[in-house]
Structure 1
Amino acid sequence: VSMSRFVANICPLEESYKHILLPLAYSVVFVLGLLLNGAMLWLCCCHTKEWTCTTIYLVNLAVADLLYIFSLPLLIINYAMQDIWLFGELLCKMVRFLFYNNLYGSILLLTCISVHRFLGICYPIRSLAYKTRRLAVIGTAVSWILVLIQVLPSLIYARTGFINNRTVCYDLTSPDNFSNYYLYGMVLTVSGFLCPFLIILICYCLMIRSLIQTTGKSNLMSSAARAKSIRTILLVCGLFAVCLAPFHITRAMYLYVRVHRKPDCRLLQGATLFYKSWRPLVGLNSCFSPLLYFLSAYYTLHSQSHCQESLLLFQ
C-alpha cells in the first residue's frame, strides 16, 4: 500500500469548507469571466478593423479562458452537492484537463505578450521585423502545442472513484497514484509556471529600466504615459504573484506531504486547506486578464490623444 493511500486511510480530512467556498467562488468566476471575456471577444471581432499582434494573443487568451469557464457549472454542482460527481469519468477528465489547459495556456500567452511589449519598448526599431502578425500566429500555435504536451498527462491521471459509497472526481489523481503524479506535478510547476514567470519578470524589469532611463531623452512617451506603463507592469507582476505563485507553492507542499512525509494529520489537513482554498483564486486570472490586457489597450488604441503611447506599447 502506497504512503499516500496509507495517509488517506488514517487521516480522514475535514473538507466541509469546500461545499460553501468553492461553489460561491466558482460562481463569481463564471459570471465575471463570461461577461469580461465575452466582451473582449466581441470588441475584438466586431470593433477592431485590423488585428495587431497583441489582438491575436488576446483572442487566444479569451478562448482559453472561456473553455475553462464553460466547465465551471459542473464543478459548482459537484461541490454544492458535497463532492458527489454525477457526470461520468469522461467529463471528469475534461474538467481537469480544461483547468490546466487554461492555466498554462494563459501563462504562455501572457509570456508572448510580455516579450512582445519588451521588444517594443527596449528595441523599438530593431524589433519591427519580428513584430508581425505571421510570427504572432506562429507564437500562439507553438504555445498551444507546448501546453498540450504539458497537460495531456492530466487526462490519464484524472479519474473518478468511490469515497464513502459516493462517486467523486479526484482533484489531481486517485490516492494510490500520487507517487507517480508527484513527479509530473513538479515538472509541470517548473515548465508551466516557473520558467515563464521568470521570463516575464526579466522582461518587465528590463522594460522598467528602459522607461526610467529614457526619461527626458525621448518625446515618444510623456511622463504620465511612462508612469502608467510602469504601474501596468507592476500590476501584471502582482497578478502573477497573487493568483498563480501561491497556488503552485501550496500544490507543491500538498503533494510533498501526501507522498513523502510520515503520517501527520494536522500537517496534511493544513496543506490540503491552503491548496484547495487557493485553487479558485487561480480562476480569477481569467477575469483579470481581459481587464489588464485588453480593455486598457483597446481604449488606448482608439484614443487619438494617446496615439503615440499606443503605437509604442500595444502594436
Structure 2
Amino acid sequence: MEKLDLNASKEKGACHFSERYKQVYLPLTYSLIFILGLALNGAVLWLSCCQTKPWSCATIYLMNLMVADLLYILSLPFLIITYAVGDTWFFGEALCKLVRFLFYTNLYSSILLLTCISVHRFLGVCHPLSSLSYQSRRHAWQAAAAAWILVVLQLLPTLVFSNTAYVNGRVICYDTTSPKNFDHFFPYSMVLTLSGFVFPSLIILVCYSLMLRSLTYPADTLPKTGDMVRSKSIRTILLVCSLFALCFVPFHIARCFFLVIRFWNPQDCQLLSTASMVYKICRPLVSMSSCLNPILYFLSRGNNRAQLLQKLRQNKEGEHPTGGVQGAPKARQISALPG
C-alpha cells in the first residue's frame, strides 16, 4: 500500500525493495484482530449498555475506549483486502484518508483515555478525600470529551498528508505521506509523538510511581477497604503497563526509527529497508490493543464476572426479574468497576 513510502524524501537516490511479506503477515494479523476485536468490543458495549446502570467513572472511560476500537476495527477490512491483493487500493482517496485517520485516532485516544483512567485511580488512592468532588461521572464525561477533542485537533493534519497516488500501474494509499510532502510530515510526526505518546506516558509513569509508594504502606495504615483498594489498583497498574509495553512502546520506537532514518539517511537502502520492516511488523501491535482493551474491562471486574455470566444465562432463558427489586442490586454491583 505504501511502495513510495519506502522511497527517500529526496528526489535522487530513491530506494526500491520488495515487501512481499506484508501480503501474508498483515492480512493474517489484521483478520485475527478484526474477528476478536469486533466480538470483544461489541460484547462489552452491549453488556454495558444493557446490563450496567449507572456507569462508574472508569466505565465511562472504558466505554469510550470501546467506541474508538470499534471505529478502527470497522476500517480493517479495507486494509485486509488491500494487502491481500498486493498493495492495491480500490476504495478512493476519501476512504484512504479516513482509514489512516481512524488508525491514529484509535491509537492516541486509547493512550489519552488510559491516562484518564490512571489519573482517576491515582486520585482515588493517593488523594481520596480532597479529590472526591472531581471523581464524578460528569467530570469523567468532560475528561473523555476533552480527550476526543484534543486527539481530533492533533490529527487533522493527517487528513492532508494521507493521500493516494498512481504508481507502477496501480493505486496506492500512503501510510505516512507522499515523498514530496515528507519534509513537512516529519516534524509534525515528531511533535505528535511527543504530545500524543511521550507526555501521556510520563503522566502515567508519575501517577503509578506515587500509587505504588502509597500501596506499599503497611495494611493497617489504610482504611478498612485497603485490601480491595490495593488489589484493584495493582491490577489496573499491571494491565495498563502491559498494554503500553506490548502495544504502544514498540510501535513508537520502530516508527520514530524508520522516520528518522528516512529523513536523515535516506541513501542507506539496507538500513532503510530494515527500519521499514521493523516498523510494519510492529504496526499490528497497536491494532492488537483493540483486543486487549476489552480484556482490561473484564479483568477489572474481579468477582463480578460470575454474576455477569449468571445474568446473561438468565436473559437467555427468559428469567427476567418481574419487580426489578432483585435485578437492581446486581446491575449496581456489576457497574462497580474499580474507579
Normalising to structure 1: TM-score of the pair? 0.91
- Cα deviation, residue 58, structure 1: 1.3
Q: Secondary structure at 1:314's aligned position in 2?
A: coil
Aligned-partner SS, 1:161: strand
Determine whether 1:295 maps to 2:310.
Answer: no
User: Map of 1:9-158 to 2, 5 A cutoff?
Assistant: 10-158=14-162
CA contact (8 A) 2:115 2:200 kept: yes
Contact kept, 8 Å, 2:61 with 2:116, in 1: the verdict is yes
Greater mean deviation of Cα atoms: 187-196 or 229-238: 229-238
CA deviation after TM superposition for structure 1 residue 190, in Å: 0.2
* Structure 1 partner of 2:325: none
Look up the SS of the partner of 2:141 in the other structure.
Answer: helix
Q: Which amino acid aligns with 2:279?
A: Y
Equivalences, count: 308
CA contact (8 A) 2:41 2:66 kept: yes
Contact 1:301/1:314 (CA < 8 Å) preserved in 2?
A: no
Post-superposition Cα deviations, 1:188-227, rounded to whole Å, max 9, x if no partner, equal 1000000001111111111111111142322534658735
Residue 262 of structure 1 and its aligned partner are, at CA, apart by 4.8
- Alignment match of 2:255 (pick from 247, 251, 259): 251
Unaligned runs of 5+ in 2: 1-6, 308-328
AA aligned opposite 1:54: A
2:221 paired residue number: 217
Q: Which amino acid aligns with 1:296?
A: L
Q: Secondary structure at the match of 1:168?
A: strand
Shift of 1:231: 4.5
1:159 to 163, 180, 187: 163
Q: CA deviation at 1:238?
A: 2.3
Contact 2:9 2:266 in 1 (8 A): no
Please report how far the alpha carbon of residue 177 of structure 1 lies from its aligned counterpart in structure 2 after TM superposition.
Answer: 1.2
Cα offset, 1:60, TM superposition? 1.0
1:242-281 matched pairs, under 5 angstroms: 242-281=246-285
The whole-number CA distance in structure 1 between the counterparts of 2:134 and 2:227 is 27
In the alignment, what sits opposite 1:234?
Answer: 238
What's the counterpart of residue 169 of structure 1? 173
C-alpha distance in 2 between matches for 1:206 and 1:120: 12
- Displacement, 1:33? 0.7
Could you tell me how far 1:162 is from its partner in structure 2? 2.0
Residue 338 of structure 2 is matched in structure 1 by 314
Q: Is the 8 A contact 1:96 1:171 kept in 2?
A: yes
Instruction: Output the amino acid matched with 1:295.
Output: F
Query: Any residues of structure 2 matched to 1:1-16 within 5 Å, and which?
Result: 4-6=9-11, 10-16=14-20
| Aligned partners of 2:258 and 2:272 also within 8 Å | yes
Worse overlay, 119-128 or 146-155: 119-128
Once the 2 structures are TM-superposed, how far is the Cα of residue 165 of structure 1 from its aligned partner?
1.2
Residue deviations 1:255-313, cap 9 Å, x none? Answer: 11111115011100000000011001100111111111x11234556779xx99x97x7
Instruction: State which structure, 1 or 2, has the greater radius of gyration over its C-alpha atoms.
Output: 2
Amino acid at match of 1:53: C
Indicate the larger mover: 226-235 or 106-115: 226-235
- CA RMSD across the alignment: 2.2
How far has the Cα of 1:237 moved from its partner?
1.0
In the alignment, which of 177, 181, 186 is matched to residue 185 of structure 2? 181
Deviations 1:132-163 (A, max 9, x none): 11111111111111001111100000000122
Letter in 2 for 1:4: S
TM-score, normalisation: structure 2: 0.85
Instruction: Note the residue ranges of structure 1 that are not aligned, 5 or more in a row.
Output: none
The equivalent position to 2:199 in structure 1, one of 173, 189, 195, is 195
The equivalent residue for 2:317 is none
